[in-house]
Structure 1
Amino acid sequence: MRYLWAIIWGFLLSNMMFYVLASMQGGHYEFGPASLFGVILAVAAMLLGDGLISEPAEQ
């Protein structure tokens, strides 16, 4: 379930960011690249959270 929420939040936040930046620059919003970036962002967050960041070993 956490993977699904990571994809949903990555998708929503990246689309929001692309929309705001495009309107600030006077450009136009493109759904495709924003969605692709959201999926890449979600996968990176999942890999970072599960693979690279680990709890410290107890001694």
Structure 2
Amino acid sequence: MRFFWTFIWALAVGSVISYILSSMAGNPFNVVHTLALAIIFTLAIYLLGEGVLKEQEE
């Protein structure tokens, strides 16, 4: 379930970032680019959370 919510939040944040940046550049909003950005965010969060930033066991 945590993977599902991670993707939903990445999609929401990616959509806002994509919309704002495309509006500032004067380009139309592209849903495909937004989904690609959300997938990249999700993969980065999974890799950081599961591998790089694991808590050290004492």
Q: 1:25 is matched with which residue?
A: 25
Structure 2 gap ranges (5+):
none
How many angstroms apart in 2 are the aligned matches of 1:23 and 1:12? 17
TM-score, normalization: structure 1? Answer: 0.85
Q: CA deviation at 1:57?
A: 3.9
Aligned-pair RMSD on alpha carbons? 1.1
- The alignment covers a number of residue pairs equal to 58
**Deviation sequence 1:3-59 (CA, Å, 0-9, x none):** 10110111111111010111112111100011111012111101110111121342x
Structure 1 segments of 4 or more deviating over 2 A?
none
Output the TM-score relative to the length of structure 2.
Answer: 0.86
**% identical equivalent positions:** 31
Which sections of structure 1, spanning at least 5 residues, go unmatched? none
What is the 5 A alignment of 1:1-59? 1-58=1-58
Secondary structure, aligned partner of 2:7: helix
